[in-house]
Amino acid sequence: MKINDLLHKVYGTNPADKGSLQPKEALAYGIAGFGQNFVCTIIGSFLTVFMTDALLFGSVQEGGIFGALNGATAVAILMLGVRIFDAFNDPIMGSVVDKTRTKWGKCRPYLKWMAIPIAIMTIICFLPLPAKQLYSFVIIAVIYTVWSVAYTIADVPYWGLSTCMTNDTVVRGNLLTVTRLLCTLGAGIVTVFLPVITNGITAKYKYTEDMIEQIKIDKAAEIASIVDKQGIDYDKAVNSFVNTVIKGQEMNNAETLKWIYFIAAVILVVVAVPMFFYGFKHTNERFTTDDNPPSFGHNMKLLFKNKELLLIVLSGVLGGARMVYTYTGGLYFAKYVLKDYGGEGLYSIITLLVVPGGLIASLLVPWMSKKFTKKWTYIIVHIFGGIVMAIMYFVGYESAGALIVAAIGLVLLGIPQGVNNIITYAMIGDTVDYLEWKTGERGEGICFAMQTLINKIGMAVGAFIGVISFSVSGCDAETLTIESPDTLWNMLVLSGVISMFACAVPMFFYTITEKKQAQMVAEIEARKATK
């Protein structure tokens, strides 16, 4: 079988209809998403770690630059505040997209216009600034806010573009399935390899318990000298000496981390930018309207007429913490709790464990949607995910057997993650058709702005819980120590359990089925034919 024939089967496209969506165009759309996720992931998963561990805003210090406010808590508040601010910019951007009229369409041109600004802002976010300085924090806070706005300007129209390319729910579902797989692959490459690189390069600066015991043996004479000269007891002398050695090495660790993240950001944007331009050049908009562009107020009214979309939004908000273990919280757990077993390098394994279940679930989404409908597929996998996380919570992490259970749980948690990554985009695409059927207006921009809003609230909640857990559990970025690993585990896992169950509830009231969507599209086409 020829590759092109295989791609036609994968996407469900018609090779005889040259005017409809074809595989080359569908792949171009996916490639743009692949590159986009290089940029999104290094910011979404690693900017918080850059701030806490490289710029040392996660260090425990007396009289710190934030006064009574812990540095890690300040980072958490920044991440939550900027991302929520950015999320509520999405409806505004959706309205801008719906008002856009260019020779390239209303969604495509933003891929061209925003690629370079996003690249520049991403690099500046990881500038190797001086550690533990208030002005460093302020610079990153400002640049990150600007980045979030620039990214929104590209992200909202990118996802809205899928409904402009085809109005066939099966083809669009297949398009989004493959695209989300490519997006996940792009994110996965960054998530898997960057911690391996940082861990490998900085390993010489980190100390395990065995290494600390060896220091005590090797430096026994120097420790004895401290006891004699300072007149303090032996245990205090040991702790003082060991902490001095470790603190000096951890400062070297932080300085090295700064440059690793900065160089990684440069490399990733250099690779990603051409993919934005490729997606712009090789896609087409077929299903748009040339009516007078709607106002923002009108678009907001349309939004509240789309009750099916609002149910998806509510579900997404409630599900904001369902995958907190894949954000910075999981990285902190590996780095601080499991440091004697590989440290942050284990975060790559955590990420990889989710892949098999996620990949299988992603590939089965079209079949599951046909067999059970999108609605019931979504509900079932999230209830399943909640049960899996509850088992992980009660088993714990403190023994080899418990860690094996946790590893199996992560594989199974790939199922709701894989389904969610794809099916919500397809469902929102269906609500665009629902809105046109109900009101005569499509509103791709405002509808898909809700998907990016959901994603950003998820990232906001994930980053906030991760960094707050870091702070509450007593992590110290300078000494790589943690006071209460149980607190970190409880906050990360229990939040996921609650979120998994909660996000399923609104979907019981969702009413669009595959049959109903086909009927709506047929009625829309019939109305257009009579005009």
Contacts of 245 (CB under 8 A, 6+ apart): 215
For helices 514-530 and 169-202, what crossing angle results, to 10°?
Answer: 120
Q: State which residues form the domain around 45.
A: 23-530
CA proximity to 251, closest of 205, 196, 204: 205
Dump pLDDT digits (tens) for 65-76: 665 567 788 888
Give CA–CA dist 328/334, Å, rounded.
Answer: 10
Give CA–CA dist 227/237, Å, rounded.
Answer: 6
Tokens read off for 379: 């509900």
Give CA–CA dist 369/423, Å, rounded.
Answer: 8
Domain-located, residue 304: yes
Dump pLDDT digits (tens) for 474-493: 887 777 778 899 999 999 99
Q: Residue 92: which pLDDT band, with cuts at 50, 70 and 90?
A: confident
Tokens read off for 262: 């900065």
Query: Do residues 76 and 464 lie in contact, with contact meaning Cβ atoms separated by under 8 Å?
Result: yes
Dump pLDDT digits (tens) for 420-443: 988 998 899 899 889 999 998 877
Winning range, highest mean pLDDT, from 17-21, 140-144, 228-232, 369-373: 140-144
- pLDDT at res. 206: 67
- pLDDT at res. 137: 93
Instruction: Identify the DSSP state of 53.
Output: I
CA proximity to 257, closest of 202, 203, 207, 206: 202
Domain-located, residue 17: no
Query: Do residues 309 and 450 lie in contact, with contact meaning Cβ atoms separated by under 8 Å?
Result: yes
Instruction: Identify the DSSP state of 479.
Output: T
- pLDDT at res. 126: 97
Domain-located, residue 13: no
Dump pLDDT digits (tens) for 260-281: 999 999 999 999 999 999 999 9
- pLDDT at res. 448: 78
- pLDDT at res. 511: 94
62: left (phi over 0), alpha (psi -120 to 50) or beta: beta
Least confident of 58-62, 122-126, 401-405, 505-509: 58-62
Instruction: Identify the DSSP state of 231.
Output: -
Query: Do residues 41 and 187 lie in contact, with contact meaning Cβ atoms separated by under 8 Å?
Result: yes
Domain-located, residue 88: yes
**Which CATH number goes with the domain that contains 353?**
1.20.1250.20
Domain-located, residue 15: no
Domain-located, residue 11: no
- Give how many domains the chain has, as a whole number: 1
pLDDT beyond 60 at 353: yes
Domain-located, residue 76: yes
CA proximity to 383, closest of 358, 419, 411: 419
Domain-located, residue 3: no
- pLDDT at res. 71: 79
CA proximity to 43, closest of 155, 187, 172, 241: 187
Residue with token string 């990016």: 452
Query: Do residues 313 and 455 lie in contact, with contact meaning Cβ atoms separated by under 8 Å?
Result: no
The SS3 of residue 239 is helix
The whole-model pTM stands at 0.80
Q: What are residue 60's phi and psi, to 5 degrees?
A: -90, 115
Residue with token string 């990881």: 126
Give CA–CA dist 220/378, Å, rounded.
Answer: 61
